[in-house]
Amino acid sequence: MLNTLSGRLATMLAAMFAVVAALLVGVSQRMPDLHQVIELGSMLLAAAIAFALLAALLVFSLLTRRLHRLALAMDHFRDSRFARSPRLDWARADGDEIDRLAVAFADLSARISSQLAEIERHDVQRRELLANVSHDLRTPLTLMQGYLETLLLRHGELGPAEARGCIEVATRHAERLGRLVADLFELSKLDGPAAAIAGERFSLGELAQDVAQKFELHAQARDVGVRALLRGEADVAVHGDIGLIERALENLVENALRHTPGGGEVCIEVASDAGRARVNVRDSGSGIPSEHLPHVFERYFQAPRVDERPGRTNAGLGLAITKRIVALHGGEIRVASALGVGTVFSLELPLCAPPPAEHPEERPPCPSASSCAFPA
């Protein structure tokens, strides 16, 4: 009852009139003269009315003081353009309506400030993204236009080898442009509110082997080894979109190959621990400087790499796509690196429960090797 304004007012008024009534009863018992009793009662009644007015003014002042402080806090919050959330330490969550209103306003203002700051941060990232996209789109388009104009202007003058060289360069930049547009489209889909995953149970060990085989020829051309390792005896199964998880692993392996020089190795390790499936993509490359590690999952961030050949440039969206895919599956991804030793990306996903004994799933074992040829 005391947690409401009406309850507090009723309690104070009841206490006041109880005191006045007690005084009247006590005085009337000591004064046998009825005329004196009536006269004293009139005086007490007048005093009670005056006391009630003073008490009401005091109560009104106490109530309006908190309302005034709350109104000032709202004005300051508005004047700060909703950037600084006010501190209302006097408000209690278990207090009356004014206290609860102040607590609700403090929570609401803090959330508004946080969301506005997040919107401003995203707006800055959006402008940077547009600038980077414009640059990355303009560069291959300009080069393609230059080589195609050369073919048009010097048609009939260029030899077969020169003409073929111009066409090959233009084709490489067209492929680069297509990859960039595809990455932007995929990232926009994954970031959208309608992003959803098609769930199915699949083996991470088999998927890791498929990804390693897909990059085998490309890795051999670079004199880099690629292998898939299964840690432990049991199969590691997860529930999710196998196509998206495959894309995430491909991005990590492709990123590892770009940073691994000839003679190096890339390992895809699959294991399980404490109800989580874990995939480590290790490389024996040059490593990533510590100041770059906090930014590797940011869009358009590109760490220094080994492969700087024309046509092999990367827009810096692969790791951002990978992080979003992992987040959609309720997982986490981390990175650790040491210069001159290599880099490891650790991807964790919720582990599937084993199938019932009466309906076992037959799966071929995932090939494994003893260990990677570089430090853990």
Query: What backbone phi and psi angles, to 5 degrees, belong to 342?
Result: 145, -175
Q: Which two tokens stand for residue 237?
A: 């199964």
Residue 206 located in a structural domain: yes
- What local confidence, expressed as pLDDT, does residue 269 receive? 92
Q: Does residue 63 form part of some domain?
A: no
Domain span at residue 217?
200-350
Answer whether residue 225 is part of any domain.
Answer: yes
Q: Residue 42 class from Cβ within 10 Å (0-12 exposed, 13-18 middle, 19+ buried)? A: exposed
Measured between alpha carbons, how far is residue 364 from residues 126, 270, 272 in Å? 46, 15, 18
E strands present in 265-376? 265-273, 276-283, 332-338, 342-350
What integer is the mean pLDDT of 148-167? 85
Q: What is the pLDDT of residues 163-220, one digit of tens each?
A: 888 888 888 888 878 877 877 777 777 776 555 666 788 888 899 999 999 999 889 9
| Model confidence band, residue 51 (pLDDT cutoffs 50, 70, 90) | confident
Residue at 102 is within a domain: no
pLDDT score recorded for residue 346: 92
Sign of CA dihedral 254, 259, 264, 268: negative
CA dist 346 and 369 (Å) reads 19
- Can you give the pLDDT at residue 335? 92
Return phi, psi of residue 158, to 5°.
Answer: -80, 145
Using CA atoms, how far apart are residues 131 and 169, in angstroms rounded to an integer? 25
Confidence check: pLDDT of 345 > 90:
yes
Looking up residue 284, the CATH number of its domain turns out to be 3.30.565.10
High-pLDDT (> 90) share of the chain, %? 11
- Label residue 24 by pLDDT band (50, 70, 90): low
DSSP-derived secondary structure for 2-59:
TTSHHHHHHHHHHHHHHHHHHHHHHHHHH---HHHHHHHHHHHHHHHHHHHHHHHHHH
The DSSP output letter for 84 is S
Distance CA 106, CA 114 (A): 12
Q: Is residue 244 part of a domain?
A: yes
Instruction: Give the pLDDT confidence score for residue 364 in this predicted structure.
Output: 42
Number of domains in the chain: 1
Residue 35 — very low, low, confident or very high, per pLDDT cuts 50/70/90?
A: low
Q: Do 232 and 196 meet the contact criterion of CB atoms below 8 Å apart?
A: no
pLDDT tens digit string along 239-284? 888 888 998 999 899 888 988 888 899 999 998 887 788 899 999 9
Per-residue model confidence (pLDDT) at position 306: 45
Which among 283, 289, 281 has a CA at the least distance from the CA of 263? Answer: 283
Q: pLDDT tens for residues 88-97?
A: 888 888 877 8
Mean pLDDT, residues 100-107: 89
- How far is residue 19 from each of residues 14, 195, 211, measured CA to CA in Å? 9, 68, 87
The pLDDT value given to residue 137: 77
- 122 in a structural domain: no
Quickly state the pLDDT bin for 312 (edges 50, 70, 90). very low
What is the model's pLDDT at position 89?
Answer: 82
Is 376 inside a domain boundary? no
The verdict on pTM exceeding 0.75 is no
In degrees rounded to 5, what are phi and psi of residue 375?
-60, 150
Residues in the chain, total? 376
Q: Which residue has the higher pLDDT, 211 or 230?
A: 211
CB 331 within 8 Å of CB 244: no
Cα dihedral 288, 293, 297, 303 sign: negative
Q: In this structure, is residue 283 part of a structural domain?
A: yes
